[in-house]
Amino acid sequence: MINDMNGSSEFIKGYTKIIVCAYLYKQSDYLYNIVKNILDDGEGIIKITNPSTLMVMKQLEEEGLVSSYIEISKFNQARKYYQLTKNGEDFYLNNKEYYLNSLSILKNMIGGNENE
């Protein structure tokens, strides 16, 4: 049997932008923590890397959906935090349902409702 779920980064590629926005909608955070939370919440199925998330962050910044600032930790280390801009909040709120609906449609297309 062939299991392609090891390629989960390919599966979520189209969803990474909205996933990152969803986390930043809750609170500003730094890259490592965002990736850690996505991996934890992904229950081993959704996998994402720091470099791919950084690329998404740069894209979001270029689009004006995210801004960043430096904060010094209690250990005197500079950390770059990301936060949604007003445009980023609007993007997230306006597109959240679209992404959720597309997942529901995918489920139906691949046979997720076979028992109905």
Instruction: Compute the CA torsion angle 36, 41, 44, 48 (nearest 10 deg).
Output: -50
pLDDT of the residue at 106? 81
Residue 116 in any domain: the answer is: no
Amino acid at 113: N
Is residue 98 within 8 Å of residue 85, measured between CB atoms? no
Please count the structural domains in the chain: 1
Range of the domain at 52: 5-109
The mean per-residue pLDDT over the stretch 68-73 comes to 93
The mean per-residue pLDDT over the stretch 74-87 comes to 94
CATH number at 51 reads 1.10.10.10
If pLDDT is split at 50, 70 and 90, which confidence band does 10 have?
Answer: low
The larger pLDDT score, comparing residue 26 to residue 113, is at 26
pLDDT of the residue at 2? 46
If pLDDT is split at 50, 70 and 90, which confidence band does 44 have?
Answer: confident
Residue 64 in any domain: the answer is: yes
By CB atoms closer than 10 A (0-12, 13-18, 19+), residue 53 is buried
Residue 71 in any domain: the answer is: yes
Nearest to 28 by CA among 66, 73, 78, 75: 66
